C-alpha cells in the first residue's frame, strides 16, 4: 500500500485536523473564506429501498430480503478551487428469510 512506504503521512483524523488548523491559521481572510465555504454547503440525502426474491427448486419457501440503504452527506462550498464531501452510509434489513448449507446441513430462517 502507498501509505505503508511513506510513514510520515497517513490519512487519519488527527492529520486532517492539523491540516485544517493550519489552513485556518494561515490568514484571517483565508479563515473567513473557509468558514463561508462550509456555511454555503448543501446537505444530501439518498434513500434506496431494495427487495430481493429468489426461488430455488429444493427450498420449502423462497428466499426474501427487504432492505433500505440510506446515505447522508454534506458538500461544502468551494475554497481555493476545492470542495469537501462527507458521506455516511447505513444498510438496514426489514425482513430476511433465507436458507444456506453449512457443514452439510440446511440452516437459516426457513430451514426444516
Same domain as 106, residue 81: yes
Which residue has better confidence, 73 or 94?
73
**Whether 26 and 63 share a structural domain:** no
Q: What's the pLDDT tens digit per position in 22-67?
A: 655 555 555 567 788 888 889 999 999 988 877 766 655 667 788 8
Confidence (pLDDT) at 108: 62
Of 110, 75, 82, 80, give the one whose Cα is nearest residue 95: 110
Question: Are 30 and 77 part of one and the same domain?
Answer: no
Q: 101 and 51: one domain? A: yes
Is residue 54 domain-shared with residue 105, that is, in the same domain? yes
Residues of the domain holding 17: 1-39
Supply 71's cell numbers: 446515505
Say if residue 35 is in the same domain as residue 86: no
33 and 48 together in one domain: no
How confident is the model over 62-87, as pLDDT tens digits? 677 888 999 999 998 888 888 889 89
Q: How confident is the model at residue 2 (pLDDT cuts 50, 70, 90)?
A: very low
pLDDT value at residue 64: 78
> Is 84 within 8 Å of 67 (Cβ atoms)?
no
- pTM score, two decimals? 0.49
Comparing 96 with 6, the larger pLDDT belongs to 96
If you count DSSP H runs as helices and E runs as strands, how many of each does the chain have, helices first? 3, 5
Amino acid at each position: 500500500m502507498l501509505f505503508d512506504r511513506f510513514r510520515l503521512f497517513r490519512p487519519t483524523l488527527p492529520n486532517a485536523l492539523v491540516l485544517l488548523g493550519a489552513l485556518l491559521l494561515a490568514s484571517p481572510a483565508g479563515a473567513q473564506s473557509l468558514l463561508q465555504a462550509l456555511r454555503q454547503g448543501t446537505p444530501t440525502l439518498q434513500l434506496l429501498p431494495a427487495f430481493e426474491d429468489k426461488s430455488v427448486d429444493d427450498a420449502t419457501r423462497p428466499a426474501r430480503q427487504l432492505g433500505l440503504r440510506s446515505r447522508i452527506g454534506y458538500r461544502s462550498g468551494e475554497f481555493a478551487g476545492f470542495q469537501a464531501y462527507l458521506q455516511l452510509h447505513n444498510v438496514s434489513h426489514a425482513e430476511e428469510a433465507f436458507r444456506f448449507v453449512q457443514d452439510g446441513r440446511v440452516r437459516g430462517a426457513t430451514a426444516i
